[in-house]
Amino acid sequence: MTESTNTTKWDDLILPFQLDRADIRGRVARLDGVLDQILAQHNYPLEVSAQVAEAAILTAMIGQTIDLRWKLSLQIRGDGPLRIVATDFYAPTETGAPAKIRAWASFDPARLQETSGTGFEKIGKGMFAVLIDHGDGSKPYQGLTALTGDSLSACAENYFAQSEQLPTRFHTVAAQSSTPDSKENWRAGGLMIQHMPKASPFAKDADPATMPMLVETLSDEDAENWNRTAILMDTVEETELIGPYVSQTQLLTRLFHEDDPRVFDPQKIEFGCTCSADKVRQTMSIYSAKDIQKMTTPEGTVTADCQFCAAHYVLDPKELGFEAQKKV
């Protein structure tokens, strides 16, 4: 699609909202420049880029719902040619600071071309995992579900229904767009609604490592509110989520005006990678001298690349505790 210059900017933002009358909370989000930075690190085929974009917008919305102290990750693994899609969402380090996100994919180029189907179908059979890590001193939480449905958004809904007993719906769109004076760029938009029980790893102030799940059956009134909200959500249009003409609050008013949507402070999000030479050295510490020797190049160095940001590290084996031996 081609855009005009008469736009409403809310790129790289996550807006939390509450429908108090329906006891439902949600997020509406869009990634623009952040998504371009994620995908610019790699030369992915379009179908791979689309899956990474969908995973990223899901991660942004899910991560922002949690009282997160460090990191939330999505890991999608399958037996198809698109083997892995992985994302990380890092909580803001202080009030008012942006959250950070990164993502990458692993795929078999030959099998990808030879296999028919959508990008999601090319992941094959596998798992959809949500991992929450609050950092030092806490026990990480991990939830798994099988890849089901026809999209990553459907997998996320199934995960919340089965693993967390939380009625949750997502509507996501990812596409390339352009303006008359700029190149094509990726943009993703998403809308999330969720009915919250009293206790869950995804409830504010909950401890994912220790708090038990509560399986709650919605009352007739709650079920009616939920179904009505989900039907309204399904009327959202692609251009409303990724187009530049409708603001977040305008979108929420159009969809849910009968429930008087209450919005909270938006969360800015930016690309961020935590890789470093020190972390590469730490990772390499598990290898033996024989392993390091096999990794040593003819020039006498050990190299490593970050899968997320494509940073290239060149290390002296002495830094890893081993003497370099020239390969012949």
Are 56 and 31 in contact, with CB atoms under 8 Å apart? yes
Arithmetic mean of pLDDT over the chain: 86
CATH 2.40.50.100 fits 13-198+217-271, yes or no: no
Which pair of structure tokens corresponds to residue 187?
């943009």
Is 234's pLDDT higher than 90? yes
| Dihedral pair phi/psi, residue 20, rounded to 5° | -60, -40
d(CA 224, CA 230): 10
CA dihedral in degrees (186, 3, 234, 195; nearest 10)?
60
Q: pTM surpassing 0.75? A: yes
Q: Which of 106-120, 190-204, 210-224 has the highest mean pLDDT?
A: 106-120
Is 243's pLDDT higher than 50? yes
The domain limits of the chain are 13-198+217-271, 277-320
Find the mean pLDDT for residues 97-126: 97
When comparing pLDDT for 214 and 86, which is higher?
86
Helix (H) or strand (E) holding 188: strand 185-195
Least confident interval from 24-38, 54-68, 240-254, 298-312 = 298-312
- pLDDT bin (cut points 50, 70, 90) of residue 240 is very high
- The whole-number pLDDT of residue 199 equals 47
